[in-house]
């Protein structure tokens, strides 16, 4: 069976975290096209015009300038052509209120950003397994 590569959108304002995701993709041999937006406003603009076909997966931070992750997620879930995209929250926020808001908006998972790169690699590997299963 040939591997189908789906587009992935990373919505993250921290450059170090963006670099860590890219490194984790390389180490996990993830070849999916990765698009990066620095905040929710930029991500919505990319979803409207830049990313073709639309991503099947969004990795989303919560704490961002201009439009935070929860605000972005509300718009995604209310937009017909975007509402079925799988969204994983990857954030430093361990607040129960953020988790509840995210799950109320039908996220596929809520991942706390790990402190060590090895744990971060394991988290990205788990994501890879999830979307490979979804494609099958």
How close are the terminal C-alpha atoms of the chain, in Å? 9
Query: Is domain 8-135 in CATH 3.40.50.12780, yes or no?
Result: no
Q: In percent, how much of the chain has pLDDT > 90? A: 51
Q: Could you state, in order of their start, the residue ranges of all structural domains in the chain?
A: 8-135
Q: How confident is the model at residue 111 (pLDDT cuts 50, 70, 90)?
A: confident
Q: Is the pLDDT of residue 136 over 80?
A: no
User: Could you read off the pLDDT of 71-105 as tens digits, one per residue?
Assistant: 999 999 999 999 999 999 988 888 899 899 999 99
**pTM of the predicted model, to two decimals?**
0.88
Q: How confident is the model at residue 134 (pLDDT cuts 50, 70, 90)?
A: low
Between helices 15-27 and 117-135, what is the axis angle to 10°? 60
Non-local (6+) Cβ contacts of 24 within 8 A are: 30, 117, 120, 121, 123, 124
CA distance 62 to 70: 6
SS3 125: helix
Instruction: Tell me the helices (H) and strands (E) count for the chain, helix number first.
Output: 5, 5
């Amino acid at each position: 069976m040939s591997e189908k590569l789906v587009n992935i959108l990373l919505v993250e304002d921290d450059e170090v975290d963006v670099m860590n995701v890219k490194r984790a993709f390389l180490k996990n041999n993830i070849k999916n096209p990765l698009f990066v937006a620095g905040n929710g406003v930029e991500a919505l603009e990319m979803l409207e015009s830049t990313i073709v076909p639309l991503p099947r997966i969004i990795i989303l931070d919560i704490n961002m300038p201009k439009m935070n992750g929860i605000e972005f997620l509300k718009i995604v879930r209310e937009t017909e052509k975007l509402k079925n995209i799988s969204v994983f929250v990857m954030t430093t926020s361990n607040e129960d209120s953020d988790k509840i808001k995210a799950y109320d908006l039908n996220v596929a998972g809520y991942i706390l950003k790990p402190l060590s790169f090895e744990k971060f690699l394991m988290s990205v590997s788990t994501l890879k397994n999830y979307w490979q299963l979804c494609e099958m």
